[in-house]
Amino acid sequence: MTAREHDVAREQTRVVAIIPARGGSKGVPGKNLRRVGGVPLVARAIAAAKASPAIDLVVVSTDDETIAAVAREWGATVVERPDAISGDTATSESALLHALDVLESAGTRTRTLAFLQATSPFIDTDALTTAVAEVEAGRTDSAFSAVETYGFLWRTEADGGASGVNHDAAHRPRRQDREPHFLETGAFYVMDAAGFREAGHRFFGRIRIVEVPENTAIEIDTAEELDVARAMAAAGLRSIAPTPIEGPIDVDAVITDFDGVHTDDRAFVDADGTEFVRVSRSDGMGVALLRRSGVPVVILSTERNPVVSTRARKLGVHVAQGLDDKAAALVEWAAKHGIPLHRLAYVGNDVNDLACLELVGWPIAVPESHPLVLAAARTVLTASGGAGAVREVAERVLAARGIAPDSPSAAPAAPTMRSNA
């Protein structure tokens, strides 16, 4: 083969990231769809792969229709995995080999394979890109993510005693005098595709460790680990996973709580027991802009209060009050209007909003929200409830539609402006 023929052949192959994500999971039911930072785990893995300039194609191998729908929404190609390799005993390698075969039969030949696991919510894209570069350059055949550790490992013996695995129990050297070991994180494995096919296993030939930050190493196999990952995302680690948590909000409808979103969550009560709340004219304009642009706005409230009805009537939006189950009301409204749940935004602030936040594509929290709500949110607004939060959502939804808030197409007609100001 000439150099030119080699270059042409190389151009006809691709660097492909494959994310196996089956529907079944015993430890955490529906694990691959559980959310961290308001984003399904499988979507976080897709976003991490798509953010790497070294990867040409992102593929999700799944046996689950909902996972497939989420994967397509986030821009991945879906390979339907047969039942024979979708059970608890099926290996990741079997899913990878099947996906490679399906891709090749469709005309996509894989040169370098990146195997990503959705159960790692904080995949380091820079490290992933480095691993791909090492395989592409021919410096290694297989590379994987790992963290450095100086931990003393022990094993339990048959007699119930214990013995050291990576150290002499009688000698305890200082950390700086010890050789580090490396622990797989499970986040990614990058391999020469032909070598992987031949070996049938992710470790073959020349193997290289690609170090990643220790705080990205969490792998979710239990409910407790899921809770930890959510807390980490709420604390700011979400920035390591390049998910679209800022900027435009691309949805077809906006659903909101009332107290704490349209208000600052305070109520003023006079001597007769009449309640008053403070609302924002700016928020009212935001609702008007959404309605003018054809984006429905709905208010769902657990409490029943005339002030909510009055505000909704002034805004010209649908309201449902006195709800014992806001999530059921949300699902019913979405079905009635033919809008998929992943095309909805929900804005909340307290624990009675959690069920709704889990359902929609864009769970949104105001900054003063309960910690569990902050952990469940895909984005946390900068504006507070009752002080511009709804306006901020409106402008980000309009931005996704290419509409500037001050453009003529966004400006409401004069009567609407007066009734909603």
Which residues, 6+ apart, have CB-to-CB distance to 116 below 8 Å? Answer: 17, 18, 19, 45, 48, 49, 123, 128, 187, 188
* CATH code for the domain defined by 3-240: 3.90.550.10
Give residue for tokens 């939060």. 389
**Side-chain half-sphere CA neighbours of 204 within 13 A:** 14
Handedness of CA 325, 220, 87, 23 (dihedral sign): positive
Query: What amino acid is encoded at 338 in this protein?
Result: G
pLDDT in tens, 288-306: 999 999 999 999 998 888 8
Rounded to whole angstroms, the Cα distance separating 284 from 421 reads 6
408 pLDDT higher than 60: no
pLDDT in tens, 74-96: 999 999 999 888 887 888 999 99
Q: Which two tokens stand for residue 288?
A: 């008007």
CATH 3.40.50.1000 in the chain is located at 253-420
Contact 192, 134 (CB under 8 A): no
Rounded to whole angstroms, the Cα distance separating 285 from 417 reads 7
Rounded to whole angstroms, the Cα distance separating 79 from 63 reads 9
For 16, 52, 76, 347, 421, the CA distances from 56, given in Å and listed in that order, are 6, 9, 11, 35, 48
pLDDT in tens, 114-146: 999 999 999 999 999 999 999 999 999 999 999
Rounded to whole angstroms, the Cα distance separating 84 from 328 reads 35
pLDDT in tens, 341-378: 989 999 999 999 999 999 998 999 999 999 889 888 88
In this prediction, residues 309-325 reach a mean pLDDT of 92
185 pLDDT higher than 90: yes
pLDDT on residue 241? 40
Rounded to whole angstroms, the Cα distance separating 110 from 192 reads 9
* Higher per-residue confidence, 268 vs 198: 198
In this prediction, residues 164-182 reach a mean pLDDT of 81
Claim: this prediction has a pTM higher than 0.85 = no
Which residues, 6+ apart, have CB-to-CB distance to 341 below 8 Å? Answer: 330, 331, 334, 359, 360, 361
Quickly state the pLDDT bin for 407 (edges 50, 70, 90). low
CATH 3.90.550.10 in the chain is located at 3-240
Quickly state the pLDDT bin for 25 (edges 50, 70, 90). confident
What percent of the chain is modeled with pLDDT above 70? Answer: 90
For 150, 250, 333, 415, the CA distances from 292, given in Å and listed in that order, are 60, 16, 20, 12
189 pLDDT higher than 90: yes
Which residues, 6+ apart, have CB-to-CB distance to 371 below 8 Å? Answer: 234
Query: What amino acid is encoded at 287 in this protein?
Result: V
Cα angle at 336 between 334 and 341, to 5 degrees?
20
pLDDT on residue 13? 74
Average pLDDT, the chain: 87
- The domain covering 253-420 belongs, at the CATH homologous superfamily level, to HAD superfamily/HAD-like (3.40.50.1000)
195 pLDDT higher than 70: yes
Which residues, 6+ apart, have CB-to-CB distance to 23 below 8 Å? Answer: 30, 32, 62, 63, 64, 66, 67, 86
pLDDT in tens, 377-396: 888 899 999 999 999 999 99
Quickly state the pLDDT bin for 418 (edges 50, 70, 90). very low
Assign 88 to helix, strand or coil.
coil
